């Protein structure tokens, strides 16, 4: 299990691309929310951008400081941001370009996801961060002394259901919502249909590259230029979402 717990390496390209992505997401979110502060789509996208910023900040920090950046607090904060970002992105697909029926009926479950999912994620991520930190650096809490076997058992019990919801159910539900919105916009066409199409491409293309292709290349030991090319495509697909939203907002919000 020790090998699995090794933090991923961050290159200069990862650091630069993450900073650009963070600035694009935050820039679009802030411009639109200033333009339309009462618009629910603008507020939810600001949450998406804020959570993305925390995750994107990890690569430049690791490139700058090395693996020492993976303290329990940083690992926990990043994991919680990823969890809330997944919930917020699903939320965004329920209000963009128009409010979907699901959120009107099951809005309670969405609110519960915001509140409940980060709790086990934060706990398990803190334990994982402790395993990545030498015992002497773990602080007075003693988390650095947690055994790998005990931590592994806790993670198996708590993480698997949350990963299933955060990593599979919510992204798949978001893609299906965007697809339905794209279909419903077909008769009228226009900005809504174009925006949902490019958001679909962002989620499907970026998701496949980031979740499947890049990890497989890493496990196979494939280095540059293929890994760099795929990473660049993954970042480019991720930027399709804020770009499409910005174009739609300038026209329709």
* pTM for this prediction: 0.85
Q: How far apart are the first and last CA of the chain?
A: 50
| Residues in the chain with pLDDT values less than 70 | 1-9, 132-156, 158, 208-209, 211-224, 226
User: 12-252, which class in CATH?
Assistant: mainly alpha
Give the model's pLDDT for residue 151: 56
Reported as a single tens digit per residue, the pLDDT across 52-78 is 999 899 989 988 887 778 888 898 999
Give the model's pLDDT for residue 144: 45
Angle of CA points 176, 94, 75, to nearest 5°: 85
- In angstroms, the Cα distances linking 22 to 41, 50, 159, 250 are 19, 9, 27, 20
| DSSP element (H, E) containing 162 | helix 148-163
């Amino acid at each position: 299990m020790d090998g699995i717990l090794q933090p991923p390496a961050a290159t200069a390209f990862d650091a630069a691309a993450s900073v650009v992505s963070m600035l694009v997401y935050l820039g679009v979110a802030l411009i639109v929310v200033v333009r339309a502060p009462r618009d629910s789509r603008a507020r939810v996208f600001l949450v998406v951008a804020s959570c993305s910023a925390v995750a994107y900040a990890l690569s430049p920090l690791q490139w700058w400081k090395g693996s020492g950046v993976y303290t329990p607090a940083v690992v926990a904060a990043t994991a919680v941001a990823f969890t809330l970002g997944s919930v917020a992105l699903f939320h965004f697909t329920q209000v963009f370009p128009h409010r979907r029926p699901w959120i009107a009926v099951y809005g309670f479950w969405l609110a519960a996801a915001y509140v409940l999912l980060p709790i086990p994620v934060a706990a398990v991520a803190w334990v994982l961060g402790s395993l990545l930190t030498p015992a002497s650096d773990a602080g007075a809490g003693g988390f650095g002394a947690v055994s790998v076997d005990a931590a592994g058992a806790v993670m198996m019990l708590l993480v698997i259901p949350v990963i299933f919801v955060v990593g599979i159910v919510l992204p798949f539900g978001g893609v299906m919502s965007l697809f339905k919105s794209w279909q419903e916009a077909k008769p009228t066409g226009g900005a809504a249909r174009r925006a949902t199409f490019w958001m679909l491409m962002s989620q499907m293309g970026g998701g496949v590259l980031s979740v499947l292709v890049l990890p497989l290349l890493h496990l196979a030991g494939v280095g540059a230029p293929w890994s760099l090319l795929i990473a660049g495509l993954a970042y480019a697909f991720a930027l399709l979402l804020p770009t499409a939203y910005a174009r739609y907002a300038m026209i329709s919000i």
